[in-house]
Structure 1
Amino acid sequence: MPDLEATQALGTELAQRLPGDAILLLKGPLGAGKTSLVQGIASALGIGEPITSPTFALAQHYTDGNPPLIHLDLYRLEQSRAADDLFLQEDEEAKAIGALMAVEWPERLSLDLPEAWQLELSHTQNGGRRAQLTPPKNAST
Protein backbone atom coordinates (compact mmCIF):
# COMPACT_ATOMS: atom_id res chain seq x y z
CA MET A 1 0.00 0.00 0.00
CA PRO A 2 1.67 3.17 -1.09
CA ASP A 3 0.07 5.68 1.28
CA LEU A 4 -2.40 6.56 4.03
CA GLU A 5 -5.34 6.58 1.63
CA ALA A 6 -4.57 3.03 0.49
CA THR A 7 -4.39 1.88 4.12
CA GLN A 8 -7.77 3.45 4.83
CA ALA A 9 -9.16 1.86 1.65
CA LEU A 10 -8.05 -1.55 2.92
CA GLY A 11 -9.94 -0.82 6.14
CA THR A 12 -13.04 0.01 4.10
CA GLU A 13 -12.74 -3.27 2.21
CA LEU A 14 -12.25 -5.25 5.42
CA ALA A 15 -15.35 -3.69 6.98
CA GLN A 16 -17.37 -4.88 4.00
CA ARG A 17 -15.97 -8.42 4.11
CA LEU A 18 -15.56 -9.27 7.80
CA PRO A 19 -18.47 -10.58 9.85
CA GLY A 20 -20.11 -7.77 11.82
CA ASP A 21 -19.11 -9.29 15.14
CA ALA A 22 -15.51 -10.07 14.14
CA ILE A 23 -12.44 -9.56 16.29
CA LEU A 24 -9.61 -8.05 14.24
CA LEU A 25 -6.15 -8.15 15.81
CA LEU A 26 -3.92 -5.45 14.32
CA LYS A 27 -0.21 -6.13 14.56
CA GLY A 28 2.66 -3.97 13.42
CA PRO A 29 5.28 -1.48 14.58
CA LEU A 30 4.56 2.11 15.57
CA GLY A 31 3.50 4.09 12.52
CA ALA A 32 2.55 1.02 10.47
CA GLY A 33 -0.99 2.31 9.91
CA LYS A 34 -3.10 0.45 12.46
CA THR A 35 -5.20 3.48 13.41
CA SER A 36 -5.44 4.59 9.77
CA LEU A 37 -6.84 1.18 8.92
CA VAL A 38 -9.42 1.51 11.72
CA GLN A 39 -10.39 4.90 10.28
CA GLY A 40 -11.22 3.16 7.00
CA ILE A 41 -13.24 0.51 8.83
CA ALA A 42 -15.17 3.17 10.75
CA SER A 43 -15.93 5.13 7.59
CA ALA A 44 -17.36 2.02 5.92
CA LEU A 45 -19.51 1.33 8.99
CA GLY A 46 -21.02 4.81 8.74
CA ILE A 47 -19.27 6.25 11.80
CA GLY A 48 -19.07 10.00 11.37
CA GLU A 49 -16.97 11.03 14.33
CA PRO A 50 -13.17 11.31 14.09
CA ILE A 51 -11.28 8.10 14.85
CA THR A 52 -8.12 8.54 16.91
CA SER A 53 -5.85 6.05 18.57
CA PRO A 54 -7.18 5.14 22.02
CA THR A 55 -3.64 4.86 23.40
CA PHE A 56 -4.46 6.80 26.56
CA ALA A 57 -8.16 5.96 26.85
CA LEU A 58 -7.38 2.29 26.01
CA ALA A 59 -10.83 1.78 24.47
CA GLN A 60 -13.19 3.80 22.30
CA HIS A 61 -16.78 2.81 21.57
CA TYR A 62 -18.48 3.99 18.38
CA THR A 63 -22.09 2.90 18.71
CA ASP A 64 -23.49 4.83 15.74
CA GLY A 65 -21.91 2.41 13.26
CA ASN A 66 -23.62 -0.49 11.56
CA PRO A 67 -22.36 -2.59 13.21
CA PRO A 68 -20.94 -0.67 16.17
CA LEU A 69 -17.16 -0.57 16.55
CA ILE A 70 -15.02 -1.04 19.64
CA HIS A 71 -11.40 0.07 19.17
CA LEU A 72 -8.79 -1.06 21.71
CA ASP A 73 -5.15 -0.04 21.98
CA LEU A 74 -3.18 -2.22 24.40
CA TYR A 75 0.18 -0.50 23.82
CA ARG A 76 0.45 1.03 27.31
CA LEU A 77 -0.53 -2.18 29.13
CA GLU A 78 2.77 -3.85 29.94
CA GLN A 79 1.24 -6.63 32.05
CA SER A 80 -0.59 -9.27 30.04
CA ARG A 81 -3.07 -9.77 32.86
CA ALA A 82 -4.21 -6.13 32.58
CA ALA A 83 -4.46 -6.46 28.79
CA ASP A 84 -6.39 -9.73 29.12
CA ASP A 85 -8.80 -8.21 31.66
CA LEU A 86 -9.51 -5.20 29.46
CA PHE A 87 -9.93 -7.36 26.37
CA LEU A 88 -12.36 -9.74 28.11
CA GLN A 89 -14.41 -6.84 29.47
CA GLU A 90 -14.61 -5.19 26.05
CA ASP A 91 -15.27 -8.51 24.29
CA GLU A 92 -18.28 -9.06 26.54
CA GLU A 93 -19.58 -5.60 25.60
CA ALA A 94 -18.88 -6.22 21.90
CA LYS A 95 -20.86 -9.46 22.00
CA ALA A 96 -23.74 -7.77 23.83
CA ILE A 97 -24.10 -5.06 21.17
CA GLY A 98 -22.93 -7.05 18.13
CA ALA A 99 -19.87 -4.87 17.58
CA LEU A 100 -16.82 -5.40 15.45
CA MET A 101 -13.75 -5.13 17.66
CA ALA A 102 -10.40 -3.84 16.38
CA VAL A 103 -7.46 -4.44 18.74
CA GLU A 104 -4.13 -2.66 18.34
CA TRP A 105 -1.07 -4.25 19.99
CA PRO A 106 -2.64 -7.69 20.61
CA GLU A 107 0.88 -8.93 21.37
CA ARG A 108 0.19 -7.70 24.92
CA LEU A 109 -2.46 -10.42 25.36
CA SER A 110 -1.74 -13.87 26.74
CA LEU A 111 -5.12 -15.17 25.59
CA ASP A 112 -5.54 -17.64 22.74
CA LEU A 113 -8.10 -16.17 20.33
CA PRO A 114 -8.76 -18.79 17.63
CA GLU A 115 -11.88 -16.87 16.53
CA ALA A 116 -9.94 -13.69 15.72
CA TRP A 117 -8.81 -12.38 12.35
CA GLN A 118 -5.22 -11.13 12.32
CA LEU A 119 -3.83 -8.37 10.16
CA GLU A 120 -0.10 -7.75 10.21
CA LEU A 121 1.05 -4.39 8.88
CA SER A 122 4.68 -3.69 8.09
CA HIS A 123 6.74 -0.97 6.44
CA THR A 124 8.22 -1.55 3.01
CA GLN A 125 11.56 -0.23 1.75
CA ASN A 126 9.85 2.29 -0.53
CA GLY A 127 7.95 3.93 2.34
CA GLY A 128 4.69 2.09 1.81
CA ARG A 129 3.04 -0.60 3.88
CA ARG A 130 2.41 -4.29 3.45
CA ALA A 131 -0.62 -6.06 4.92
CA GLN A 132 -1.12 -9.76 5.52
CA LEU A 133 -4.54 -11.00 6.64
CA THR A 134 -4.86 -14.34 8.45
CA PRO A 135 -8.35 -15.80 8.95
CA PRO A 136 -9.44 -17.26 12.28
CA LYS A 137 -7.95 -20.63 13.21
CA ASN A 138 -11.45 -22.02 13.59
CA ALA A 139 -12.68 -20.72 10.20
CA SER A 140 -14.30 -23.27 7.96
CA THR A 141 -12.43 -23.82 4.71
Structure 2
Amino acid sequence: MESADAIEVCHLADPAATDALGRRLASQLLAAVDGDGALLLLRGELGAGKTSLVQGLAAALGISEPVTSPTFALAQHYDIDSGSDAGTTALVHLDLYRLEPGAAADELFAQEEEDARGLGAVLAVEWPERLSFRPEGAWEVALSHAEDGEGRLARINPPPGLTPPRPLPPAPR
Protein backbone atom coordinates (compact mmCIF):
# COMPACT_ATOMS: atom_id res chain seq x y z
CA MET A 1 0.00 0.00 0.00
CA GLU A 2 1.51 3.29 -1.09
CA SER A 3 1.23 6.51 0.92
CA ALA A 4 -0.17 8.30 -2.13
CA ASP A 5 -3.10 5.86 -2.17
CA ALA A 6 -3.96 6.38 1.49
CA ILE A 7 -6.80 8.70 2.47
CA GLU A 8 -4.81 9.53 5.57
CA VAL A 9 -1.27 9.06 6.75
CA CYS A 10 -0.82 9.90 10.40
CA HIS A 11 1.84 9.77 13.08
CA LEU A 12 0.92 7.86 16.23
CA ALA A 13 3.10 9.00 19.10
CA ASP A 14 2.16 6.22 21.52
CA PRO A 15 -0.29 3.35 22.17
CA ALA A 16 -2.94 5.86 23.31
CA ALA A 17 -2.80 7.56 19.89
CA THR A 18 -3.13 4.17 18.19
CA ASP A 19 -6.13 3.38 20.39
CA ALA A 20 -7.63 6.77 19.43
CA LEU A 21 -7.19 5.97 15.73
CA GLY A 22 -9.12 2.72 16.27
CA ARG A 23 -11.92 4.74 17.87
CA ARG A 24 -11.99 7.11 14.89
CA LEU A 25 -12.06 4.25 12.38
CA ALA A 26 -15.05 2.73 14.17
CA SER A 27 -17.33 5.45 12.80
CA GLN A 28 -16.30 4.62 9.23
CA LEU A 29 -16.69 0.89 9.78
CA LEU A 30 -20.09 1.33 11.44
CA ALA A 31 -21.21 3.38 8.44
CA ALA A 32 -20.15 0.46 6.23
CA VAL A 33 -22.05 -2.14 8.25
CA ASP A 34 -25.17 -2.87 6.24
CA GLY A 35 -26.16 -6.12 7.84
CA ASP A 36 -23.22 -7.93 6.22
CA GLY A 37 -20.59 -6.49 8.53
CA ALA A 38 -17.39 -4.63 7.74
CA LEU A 39 -13.84 -5.81 7.11
CA LEU A 40 -10.63 -4.20 8.38
CA LEU A 41 -7.22 -5.57 7.36
CA LEU A 42 -4.34 -4.67 9.67
CA ARG A 43 -0.82 -4.90 8.31
CA GLY A 44 2.39 -4.28 10.20
CA GLU A 45 5.31 -6.00 11.79
CA LEU A 46 5.31 -7.36 15.33
CA GLY A 47 4.82 -4.54 17.83
CA ALA A 48 3.51 -2.07 15.25
CA GLY A 49 0.28 -1.49 17.18
CA LYS A 50 -2.33 -3.66 15.44
CA THR A 51 -3.87 -4.91 18.68
CA SER A 52 -3.81 -1.42 20.22
CA LEU A 53 -5.80 -0.19 17.24
CA VAL A 54 -8.34 -3.03 17.68
CA GLN A 55 -8.65 -2.13 21.38
CA GLY A 56 -9.72 1.39 20.41
CA LEU A 57 -12.08 0.03 17.78
CA ALA A 58 -13.66 -2.31 20.35
CA ALA A 59 -14.11 0.50 22.88
CA ALA A 60 -15.87 2.66 20.27
CA LEU A 61 -18.13 -0.27 19.36
CA GLY A 62 -19.25 -0.51 22.99
CA ILE A 63 -17.18 -3.52 24.03
CA SER A 64 -15.87 -3.24 27.58
CA GLU A 65 -14.20 -6.63 28.03
CA PRO A 66 -10.41 -6.65 27.63
CA VAL A 67 -9.25 -7.10 24.03
CA THR A 68 -6.02 -9.03 23.66
CA SER A 69 -4.10 -10.34 20.69
CA PRO A 70 -5.64 -13.59 19.47
CA THR A 71 -2.23 -14.88 18.34
CA PHE A 72 -2.63 -18.21 20.12
CA ALA A 73 -6.44 -18.46 20.06
CA LEU A 74 -6.44 -17.31 16.40
CA ALA A 75 -9.88 -15.68 16.75
CA GLN A 76 -11.79 -13.85 19.46
CA HIS A 77 -15.46 -12.89 19.31
CA TYR A 78 -16.61 -9.88 21.33
CA ASP A 79 -20.21 -8.96 22.08
CA ILE A 80 -21.52 -5.45 22.50
CA ASP A 81 -22.42 -4.59 26.09
CA SER A 82 -26.14 -4.30 26.62
CA GLY A 83 -27.26 -0.70 26.87
CA SER A 84 -24.65 0.44 24.34
CA ASP A 85 -25.61 3.10 21.82
CA ALA A 86 -23.42 1.39 19.21
CA GLY A 87 -26.21 -0.95 18.05
CA THR A 88 -25.96 -4.70 17.71
CA THR A 89 -22.64 -4.83 15.86
CA ALA A 90 -20.13 -7.28 17.31
CA LEU A 91 -16.40 -7.58 16.73
CA VAL A 92 -14.49 -10.61 15.47
CA HIS A 93 -10.72 -10.25 15.92
CA LEU A 94 -8.67 -12.66 13.81
CA ASP A 95 -4.89 -13.14 13.88
CA LEU A 96 -3.35 -15.19 11.06
CA TYR A 97 0.28 -14.84 12.25
CA ARG A 98 0.72 -18.44 13.39
CA LEU A 99 -0.76 -19.93 10.23
CA GLU A 100 1.19 -20.89 7.14
CA PRO A 101 0.32 -18.70 4.17
CA GLY A 102 -2.27 -20.22 1.87
CA ALA A 103 -4.89 -22.86 2.56
CA ALA A 104 -4.89 -22.84 6.38
CA ALA A 105 -5.15 -19.05 6.58
CA ASP A 106 -7.73 -18.94 3.79
CA GLU A 107 -9.90 -21.58 5.50
CA LEU A 108 -9.89 -19.87 8.90
CA PHE A 109 -10.59 -16.49 7.28
CA ALA A 110 -13.54 -17.95 5.34
CA GLN A 111 -15.03 -19.45 8.51
CA GLU A 112 -14.64 -16.26 10.55
CA GLU A 113 -15.83 -14.03 7.71
CA GLU A 114 -18.99 -16.12 7.40
CA ASP A 115 -19.57 -15.85 11.16
CA ALA A 116 -18.90 -12.10 11.15
CA ARG A 117 -21.23 -11.47 8.22
CA GLY A 118 -23.94 -13.53 9.90
CA LEU A 119 -23.59 -11.37 13.01
CA GLY A 120 -23.33 -8.11 11.07
CA ALA A 121 -19.99 -7.75 12.86
CA VAL A 122 -16.79 -5.88 12.19
CA LEU A 123 -14.06 -8.38 11.28
CA ALA A 124 -10.57 -7.10 12.13
CA VAL A 125 -7.83 -9.27 10.60
CA GLU A 126 -4.20 -9.08 11.68
CA TRP A 127 -1.58 -10.49 9.26
CA PRO A 128 -3.84 -10.60 6.16
CA GLU A 129 -0.73 -11.10 4.03
CA ARG A 130 -0.96 -14.79 5.07
CA LEU A 131 -4.04 -15.07 2.84
CA SER A 132 -3.57 -16.19 -0.76
CA PHE A 133 -5.90 -13.38 -1.90
CA ARG A 134 -6.91 -9.85 -0.93
CA PRO A 135 -10.46 -9.84 0.46
CA GLU A 136 -12.85 -7.54 -1.38
CA GLY A 137 -14.48 -4.54 0.25
CA ALA A 138 -11.90 -4.19 3.02
CA TRP A 139 -10.60 -1.11 4.77
CA GLU A 140 -6.85 -1.43 5.23
CA VAL A 141 -4.51 0.07 7.79
CA ALA A 142 -0.76 -0.41 7.49
CA LEU A 143 1.17 0.35 10.67
CA SER A 144 4.91 0.78 10.75
CA HIS A 145 7.57 2.09 13.07
CA ALA A 146 8.39 5.73 12.30
CA GLU A 147 11.75 6.19 10.59
CA ASP A 148 12.98 8.42 13.41
CA GLY A 149 12.16 5.66 15.92
CA GLU A 150 9.54 7.81 17.63
CA GLY A 151 6.08 6.26 17.49
CA ARG A 152 4.34 4.69 14.52
CA LEU A 153 2.95 5.66 11.15
CA ALA A 154 -0.50 4.58 9.99
CA ARG A 155 -1.56 4.53 6.34
CA ILE A 156 -5.31 4.19 5.97
CA ASN A 157 -7.06 3.07 2.78
CA PRO A 158 -10.79 2.69 2.24
CA PRO A 159 -12.19 -0.24 0.28
CA PRO A 160 -11.44 -0.03 -3.46
CA GLY A 161 -14.23 1.71 -5.30
CA LEU A 162 -15.30 3.83 -2.34
CA THR A 163 -15.49 7.23 -4.04
CA PRO A 164 -15.10 9.83 -2.90
CA PRO A 165 -13.29 8.64 0.20
CA ARG A 166 -15.17 9.67 3.29
CA PRO A 167 -12.74 11.60 5.47
CA LEU A 168 -12.13 10.32 8.96
CA PRO A 169 -13.39 12.47 11.81
CA PRO A 170 -10.72 14.87 13.09
CA ALA A 171 -8.11 13.49 15.43
CA PRO A 172 -8.61 14.42 19.07
CA ARG A 173 -6.36 17.23 20.27
User: Shorter chain as normaliser: what TM range?
Assistant: over 0.9
Deviates more, 1:11-20 or 1:91-100: 11-20
Count residues with an aligned counterpart.
141
Distance apart, 1:80 and its partner CA: 1.3
**RMSD, matched Cα:** 1.2
Q: Normalized against structure 1, the TM-score is what?
A: 0.95
SS at 2:92's partner residue? Answer: strand
Rg comparison, structure with higher value: 2
Given candidates 42, 50, 61, the residue that maps to 2:77 is 61
Give 1:135's aligned residue. 158
Indicate the percent of aligned positions where both proteins have the same amino acid.
58
Give 1:8's aligned residue. 19
Mind listing any 5+ residue stretches in structure 2 that lack a counterpart? Answer: 1-11, 82-86, 165-173
Mind listing any 5+ residue stretches in structure 1 that lack a counterpart? Answer: none
What is the CA–CA distance in structure 2 between the aligned matches of 1:40 and 1:59, rounded to whole Å? Answer: 17
Describe how 1:80-119 pairs up with structure 2 within 5 A: 80-119=102-141
In structure 2, what residue type is equivalent to 1:126? G
* Contact 2:101–2:132 (CA under 8 A) maintained in structure 1: no
In structure 2, what residue type is equivalent to 1:30? L
The reply to whether residue 126 of structure 1 matches residue 142 of structure 2 is no
Distance apart, 1:126 and its partner CA: 3.4
Q: Normalized against structure 2, the TM-score is what?
A: 0.78
What is the CA–CA distance in structure 1 between the aligned matches of 2:25 and 2:63, rounded to whole Å? Answer: 15
